[in-house]
Amino acid sequence: MPMNPAVRSVTAFFPCFNDAPSIGGLVEAVHETLSGQVECFDVVVIDDGSSDNSLEVLKEVAGRLPDVRIVAHPRNRGYGGALKSGFAAATHDWVFYTDGDGQYDPRELKSLIEAASDDVDVVQGWKLRRGDGPVRTVIGRIWHRTVAILFGIGVRDTDCDFRLIRRSVIERVPLEVDSGVFPVELVTRLQAIGARFVEIPVSHYPRAHGRSQFFRVGRIARTLRDLAVLWWKLVVRKQRAQVRQGSSAP
């Protein structure tokens, strides 16, 4: 029997891009966690065109553990592109995802499952304390407050990619962004259809391997561009449509 009757089956997935040192342990941890929490589950990893030996690590883990699947992109599609593939590959009633770099502990999925209920569509994590140091912490707060104002986001930590979502709800929202602004699109669209959120604190750890790909001039410029395009599409166009509807009403 599941520990929480509201959550009987889960697909857990990770986006993976050059995360060979961490991804194997993450898959093992979430597999062990779900084994004691739900009736059935699977684990999916989206290898987003990694140039290291991530794919070899994943094949070895998949050979040892049941219900582990690999989706390999022949070329890098970006963070949002990997997440879209993960949602598309999900088969169970609830979908959990977190990052493949090891800054979140998949074993804390247990807390998300415990918080789910028949009246909840999204169990959203928020970082107790950011593990990236003071500079990244300040930038993260500025980013969240900016997107919260621009998009009317009500959750306290937009970029905490530690989420458990009903698959039936995900299937109702169009997801288009391939870049790192994907979480903004995801939360904004979920709010727009009236998805019911509950928020849970989770741990966040320093990056043990590799370096963030975000803090590069080109990447920052593309992120700001994508954010502006998304704001125009989801906010400005919606407001203009509402104005036209209001002016045409008798």
Digit-coded pLDDT (tens) for 77-105: 999 999 999 999 999 999 999 999 999 99
CATH number 1.10.132.20 is the correct assignment for the domain at 9-216 = no
Query: What's the one-letter identity of residue 221?
Result: A
Query: Six-digit token pair at 215?
Result: 């803090």
What is the distance between the alpha carbons of residues 137 and 157, in angstroms, rounded to a whole number?
12
Count of CB atoms within 10 A of residue 33's CB?
21
Query: Six-digit token pair at 55?
Result: 């794919």
Give yes or no for a contact between 19 and 210, defined as CB atoms under 8 angstroms apart.
yes
Average pLDDT over residues 201-219: 72
Query: Six-digit token pair at 192?
Result: 């727009």
**Integer angstrom CA distances of residue 183 from 109, 161, 175, 178:** 18, 8, 10, 10
State the pLDDT confidence band at 132, using cuts at 50, 70 and 90.
confident
Q: For 47-84, how does the pLDDT look when each residue is reduced to its tens digit (9 = 90+)?
A: 999 999 999 999 999 999 999 999 999 999 999 999 99
68, β-bridge pairs: 43
42, β-bridge pairs: 11
Is 70 exceeded by the pLDDT of residue 212?
no
Question: What per-residue confidence (pLDDT) applies to 250?
Answer: 57
- Mapped onto helix, strand or coil, the DSSP state of residue 216 is coil
What is the distance between the alpha carbons of residues 93 and 165, in angstroms, rounded to a whole number?
9
| Distance, first Cα to last Cα, the chain | 56
The model carries a pTM of 0.91
